[in-house]
């Protein structure tokens, strides 16, 4: 099965020479086909590292890289590329970045460095918080917020775009509608790639800021009972978050309509990491047990059938009455944007931390940029 699939897959050169945008199956197929090196990052955890064009590292360098917690030049494609220790390190650095993120303290840590923001999909928080993070650290930013007006419209493929932009910048942040696109970009880039969301795939920097928020608000991640609510099928933020919460010792309950439950492979990832997520349809049955309620938007843009979207969108709504059934110190998170899933009356309650969570994107992304670009060890 895998053999036949591989036969159909394009090689790096097939993709590089293809005229026009690379289509979805090619990116996904390519991401699965690439040669892998497994690097142990702990007693039970393996990190898959893909050697790439122009940046191949031998196995010893890679081992040294993992052991030293040195994040210089690291691609951030999936949260799986980080050990728990590395995540803890990023969060500790982020904590120190808060006064700079707030503008209370000045920094020139990344003076002379240039970040390229390549956003092929809409974004407010991720794009602007990366821009803020870079500028607060004294660096500069170039980029685009849609493929409109770029040579993608003339038929340039993602590989060529990334190759060219990696010659203009020190680090690329990419958001693209196709799963696997960031992994592909890392193959062609001479500079580190940060995945800012690849279709319904992963959103690792959102995951880091979510972990930062939980740790800050609740004091720890381990043993927190986290309820993931909403569109767990298409919501990429919950894919990254579920598996990392599992390996950090949190308890997980996934609350979603049957058709939007967490994908099987993510459930299996959680199980492999020692956490059996509880799957439920109704929040009412579980809210009293939760420490963290992580609400997500129904992803209209990823629904193949608009009628199905309409049916599901009013499935749940968090308001004062619902929260009244929860613990007093429950926190409500949301990656935002929210549509109707959290009533605005919740915004002023102490449980609502989603705007603080959005701010936390700045210090967390500052920490990542500083660690990857060598501004801090
Ligand atoms: N949370 C998040 O990714 O928001 P944006 O789509 O606005 O970047």
**According to the model, what pLDDT value does residue 13 have?**
54
Residue 366 to residue 92: CA distance in whole angstroms: 12
Pocket test for ligand 1, best of 119, 124, 129 (most atoms within 8 A of CB): 124
DSSP states of 151-164: GGGGT--HHHHHHH
**According to the model, what pLDDT value does residue 151 have?**
93
Q: Which of 268, 233, 189, 206 is nearest to 78 (CA)?
A: 206
pTM: 0.84
253 a catalytic residue? no
Q: Which of 52, 53, 54, 72 is nearest to 113 (CA)?
A: 72
Q: Are 279 and 263 in contact (CB under 8 A)?
A: no
Q: Strand, coil or helix: what is 285?
A: helix
Whether residue 50 has pLDDT greater than 50: no
Work out whether the CA dihedral 298, 302, 306, 311 comes out positive or negative.
negative
**84 burial type by CB count under 10 A (0-12 exposed, 13-18 middle, 19+ buried):** middle
Same domain (yes/no): 10, 63: yes
Name the percent of the chain lying above pLDDT 90.
Answer: 67
What is the domain count for the chain?
2
Same domain (yes/no): 253, 150: no
> Average of pLDDT values for 93-108?
98
Q: Hey, which residues does 92 pair with through a beta bridge?
A: none
> Average of pLDDT values for 276-293?
94
Q: Which of 279, 312, 308, 284 is nearest to 298 (CA)?
A: 312
154 a catalytic residue? yes
- Atom 3, ligand 1: residue with shortest CA distance: 126
205 lines ligand 1 (CB under 6 A): no
Higher-confidence residue of 40 and 55: namely 55
Same domain (yes/no): 290, 176: no
CATH number at residue 141: 3.40.50.1370
In a domain, 87, yes or no: yes
Whether residue 36 has pLDDT greater than 90: no
Main-chain dihedrals φ then ψ at residue 7, nearest 5 degrees: -60, -35
Same domain (yes/no): 133, 223: no
Domain that holds residue 310: 205-357
Same domain (yes/no): 226, 284: yes
Same domain (yes/no): 233, 367: no
Confidence of residue 300 (pLDDT cuts 50, 70, 90): confident
The pair of three-digit structure tokens given for residue 176, joined into one six-digit string: 């693209």
Same domain (yes/no): 224, 153: no
126 lines ligand 1 (CB under 6 A): yes
């Amino acid at each position: 099965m895998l053999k036949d699939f591989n036969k159909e897959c394009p090689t790096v050169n097939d993709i590089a020479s293809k005229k026009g945008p690379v289509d979805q199956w090619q990116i996904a197929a390519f991401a699965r086909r690439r040669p892998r090196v497994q690097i142990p990052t702990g007693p039970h955890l393996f990190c898959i590292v893909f050697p790439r064009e122009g940046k191949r590292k031998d196995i010893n360098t890679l081992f040294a890289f993992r052991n030293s917690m040195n994040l210089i030049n690291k691609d951030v494609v999936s949260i799986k590329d980080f050990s728990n220790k590395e995540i803890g390190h990023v969060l500790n650095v982020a904590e120190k970045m808060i006064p700079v993120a707030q503008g209370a303290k000045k920094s020139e840590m990344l003076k002379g460095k240039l970040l390229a923001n390549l956003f092929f999909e809409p974004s407010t928080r991720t794009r602007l918080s990366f821009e803020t993070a870079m500028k607060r650290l004294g660096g500069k930013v170039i980029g685009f917020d849609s493929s409109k007006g770029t040579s993608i419209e003339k038929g340039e493929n993602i590989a060529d775009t990334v190759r060219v932009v990696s010659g203009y910048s020190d680090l690329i942040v990419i958001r693209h509608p196709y799963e696997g696109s960031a992994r592909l970009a890392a193959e062609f880039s001479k500079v580190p790639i940060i995945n800012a969301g690849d279709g319904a795939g992963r959103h690792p920097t959102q995951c880091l800021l979510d972990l930062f928020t939980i740790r800050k608000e609740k004091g720890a991640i381990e043993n927190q009972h986290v309820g993931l609510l909403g569109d767990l099928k298409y919501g990429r933020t919950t894919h990254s978050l579920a598996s990392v919460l599992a390996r950090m010792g949190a308890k997980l309950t996934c609350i979603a309509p049957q058709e939007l439950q967490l994908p099987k492979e993510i459930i299996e990832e959680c199980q492999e990491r020692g956490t059996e997520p509880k799957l439920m349809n109704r929040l009412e049955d579980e809210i009293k047990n939760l420490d963290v309620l992580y609400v997500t938007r129904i992803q209209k843009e990823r629904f193949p059938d608009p009628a199905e979207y309409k049916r599901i969108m009013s499935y749940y709504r968090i308001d004062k009455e619902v929260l009244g059934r929860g613990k007093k110190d429950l926190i409500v998170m949301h990656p935002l944007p929210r549509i109707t899933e959290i009533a605005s009356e919740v915004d002023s309650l102490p449980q609502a931390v989603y705007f603080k969570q959005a701010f936390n994107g700045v210090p967390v992304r500052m920490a990542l940029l500083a660690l990857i670009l060598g501004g801090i060890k």
